[in-house]
């Protein structure tokens, strides 16, 4: 009986010691290790989240800039397609295209009268206005932007008249060439020096930068001369 009792006491003591170890929980070192692993995992997830957010933001900016370039080409094409030439008013019928360098970059200047097909005849606003495209460096950012301005007063002399609106930023080139026969193209065109002749083929090359990459867009326009 004594031996059995001693054996039982030994097993009971070992069982109580095992239960005590199982109930003691995590040690400080174990807690530190677990917290370190959780921190690393959380940091990885947080880094992935911010990388994805930056990627989506950069893609949105690139899409906006690309859309601005497409809108520019549509706007310029519409203006060229609606060039107005008044036979009885040679003074106000002109087409001026000049090769210009702005801040070391070629950004050509355009100025001509155009007609709006969407004008409202019930208003007093004229459906013919002067439009110009030109480059200008932003005073605050130092970035070269392409502007479009229009003015209800048609004047070849007042090239800076009207309100200019930036239509695309970070321009690297805006080159325009003119022709009447599709064989030879000129970098400049002044209808006053060409017997009041307007170009009927206009080639445009636009280069701009987005996300540290240069994008290029080219098109040709064949403007009919609208006589009023």
Q: Which of 227, 224, 228 is nearest to 77 (CA)?
A: 224
pTM as predicted: 0.66
CA 162, 90, 199 angle in degrees (round to 5)? 80
Q: Tell me, what's the pLDDT at 142?
A: 92
Give the range among 46-50, 67-71, 154-158, 171-175 with minimum mean pLDDT: 154-158
- The 10s digit of each residue's pLDDT in 30-64 is 778 878 888 888 777 777 766 666 655 555 555 55
Residue 11 has pLDDT above 50, yes or no: no
d(CA 156, CA 90): 11
Give the number of other Cβ atoms within 10 Å of residue 133's Cβ.
24
Q: Which of 164, 162, 77 is nearest to 114 (CA)?
A: 77
Mean pLDDT for 190-216 is 87
Q: Where are the domains of the chain?
A: 61-221
d(CA 81, CA 92): 18
Structure-block tokens of residue 26? 């995590």
Q: Tell me, what's the pLDDT at 197?
A: 85
| Residue 124 exposure: Cα atoms within 13 Å on the Cβ side | 0
d(CA 82, CA 40): 63
DSSP state of 28: H
Mean pLDDT for 100-122 is 78
Structure-block tokens of residue 209? 């930068």
Residue 96 has pLDDT above 80, yes or no: yes
Question: Would you report the helix, strand and coil content of the chain in percent, each value rounded to 5?
Answer: 35, 30, 30
């Amino acid at each position: 009986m004594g031996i059995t009792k001693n054996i039982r006491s030994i097993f009971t003591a070992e069982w109580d010691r095992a239960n005590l170890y199982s109930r003691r929980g995590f040690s400080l070192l174990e807690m530190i290790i677990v917290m370190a692993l959780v921190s690393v995992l959380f940091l990885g997830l947080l880094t992935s989240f911010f990388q994805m957010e930056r990627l989506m933001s950069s893609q949105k900016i690139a899409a906006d800039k690309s859309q601005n370039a497409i809108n520019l080409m549509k706007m310029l094409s519409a203006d060229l397609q609606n060039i107005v030439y008044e036979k009885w008013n040679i003074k106000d019928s002109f087409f001026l295209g000049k090769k210009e360098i702005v801040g070391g970059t070629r950004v050509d200047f355009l100025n001509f009268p155009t007609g709006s097909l969407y004008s409202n005849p019930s208003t007093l606003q004229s459906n013919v206005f002067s439009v110009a495209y030109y480059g200008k460096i932003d005073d605050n950012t130092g970035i070269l932007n392409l502007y479009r301005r229009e003015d209800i007063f048609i004047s070849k002399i007042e090239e800076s008249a009207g309100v200019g609106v930036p239509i695309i930023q970070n321009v690297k080139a805006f080159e325009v060439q003119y022709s009447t026969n599709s064989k030879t193209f000129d970098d400049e065109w002044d209808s006053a020096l060409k017997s009041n002749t307007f170009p009927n083929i206009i080639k445009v090359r636009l280069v701009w930068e987005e996300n540290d990459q240069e994008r290029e867009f080219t098109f040709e326009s064949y403007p009919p001369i609208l006589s009023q």
